[in-house]
Structure 1
Amino acid sequence: MWSPHVKNIFVIEPHPKLDYHPAPKLAQLLSQNMPTDEVFYKYESWKNQVDPAWNRILAAMKSCPKCVPIPIRDFFCKGEVCDLYEEKTKLSLYCDAGHFSPHGVERIVPTLQEKFNNAIKNLKQ
């Protein structure tokens, strides 16, 4: 069923589609010297939007020995809120309502590198 040439199938956890574009919202607030602490996504909303599909994907992956899940929410969510921007730089983690910006991608790069490096090590064995 699986190609002998495919050793791993990496599946990255989806992220939610937001109700608005955080980058312009941040720009507007910052240009007006307004606080940005209300620019966040509720963890409960993330779970409600992502978990139904992610849980089905994880269940399906149980029968896929080559599949490697890559959860990402812990890189964005702490407690009851999920970041939409970098606190220190005020740069948006999303370029629009449905795609990570380069700064958002930077948060998941370390775990991607780890998963890919492990896969490469396993190829050499």
Structure 2
Amino acid sequence: MVSTSFDLIQRNEKEADSCKSFYYKNSCAVNPIIEKYLTWRPKADFMDVYCSLKLNPKSNKTILITGNSFVYFQIYGILEAIKKSKTQFLEVFVVEHPQCNILVGYLNDLYRECSGIEKSHDRLFEQLKPDVIIHSARMDLYVTSAVSPKISFKDDEYYYEIKRQILHIASFTRRLIIIEPHPPFTSSTQHYGIPAKEFHRKHNPSWNRVKEAVKHCKNCVIVQTQNIMCPNGICPMVDPITRLSLFCDKSHVTPRQSLKFVLGIIKALNGIT
């Protein structure tokens, strides 16, 4: 029993160590195009990522990954999906700013350091013309209330802004892939997970607007994560089989857990020829 408990502690410490830095820090290099055309950036943070990785030299396709700090922690799974996709890519560009979210436009003004992000990526998008843009970010920081029952989506200002931004970003690429935000970590000592209903109360006001907006985007695809993160009505914090933590901190999944998103991302990449 002592040996088993000690082994479990060691394995969880290894999981924690994997969270301490950007998974591809040694191979994702500073890119001159990013440096030249992405001139606006929020206050420097240790989780900022502006770099690119070379993949298949026989391909002429490129892909750009962007979002907030979700990208920093999910990059292992996202890159594994790209590598395993039938469609091969020459280069992957990674641009992410903690807390900031290009999908929500002026709603970034809620956070002073993000108030200049709207359209800040446009020159980079125009220069790169990526075949695919993948976006992953938390959404419930910006919109907390559901659409009023007295109005329709089209009359809701938050929905209008999210739709406007999604269509704008999608205009720069052949496919915009949006990864559904996963639930946060709970610090409750009473259980090792949160009821899915509790998560959806916070998640749905923003995410429902995204889903509705995507209906109007012909080249947008959503990668669902709730079936992975919240099986059987519970969003666990610990893997019930391995007993390893699924989270690095209160907001981000471990690199190992991000691998569970691989199949959904591969499916979203299908058909890019």
1:18 is displaced (CA, Å) by 3.2
Partner of 2:239: 86
- 1:73 equivalenced with 2:73 (yes/no): no
Which of 192, 205, 210 in structure 2 is aligned with 1:57?
Answer: 210
Deviation string, structure 1 residues 58-103 (Cα, Å, up to 9, x no partner): 1111221111111100002122211212112111111011011112
What root-mean-square deviation, in Å, do the aligned CA atoms of Structure 1 and Structure 2 show? Answer: 2.1
Partner of 2:178 in structure 1?
Answer: 11
Distance 1:82 1:69 in 2: 20
**8 Å CA contact retained: 1:17, 1:97:** yes
Equivalent pair of 2:178/2:221 in contact (CA under 8 Å): yes
In structure 2, what is the Cα distance between the partners aligned to 1:96 and 1:111?
A: 24
Contact 2:185 2:247 in 1 (8 A): no
Question: How far 1:19 moved relative to its partner?
Answer: 3.8
Question: Is the contact made by 1:92 and 1:103 (CA closer than 8 Å) also made in structure 2?
Answer: no
1:123 counterpart residue number: 272
Q: How far apart are the structure 2 equivalents of 1:18 and 1:88?
A: 18
In structure 2, C-alpha distance between the alignment counterparts of 1:66 and 1:109, rounded to whole Å:
20
Match of 1:103 among 250, 253, 256: 256
2:235 is paired with a residue whose SS is: strand
SS at match of 1:82: strand
Please list every run of at least 4 consecutive aligned residues from structure 1 whose deviation after the TM superposition is greater than 6 angstroms: none
Which of 255, 265, 271 lines up with 1:112 in the alignment?
Answer: 265
> CA shift at 1:41, angstroms?
1.4
CA distance in structure 2 between the partners assigned to 1:64 and 1:98 by the alignment? 29
Structure 1 unaligned blocks of 5 or more? 26-36
**Cα distance in 1 for residues equivalent to 2:261 and 2:238:** 14
Q: For 1:114, what is the secondary structure of its paired residue?
A: helix
Amino acid at match of 2:210: I
Query: Aligned residues, how many?
Result: 104
Percent identity of the aligned residues?
A: 25
- SS of residue paired to 2:177: strand
One-letter amino acid matched to 2:249: D
Bigger radius of gyration: 2
User: Could you tell me how far apart the structure 2 residues matched to 1:123 and 1:91 are?
Assistant: 36
Q: Quote the Cα distance in structure 1 between the aligned partners of 2:245 and 2:175.
A: 32
How high is the TM-score relative to the length of structure 1?
A: 0.73
Residue 28 of structure 1 is matched in structure 2 by none
CA distance, structure 2, for counterparts of residue 112 and residue 59 of structure 1:
20
Structure 2 unpaired stretches of 5+ = 1-167
Q: Distance in 2 between matches of 1:49 and 1:19?
A: 13
TM-score normalised to the size of structure 2?
A: 0.35
Higher relative contact order (CA 8 A, sep 6+): 1
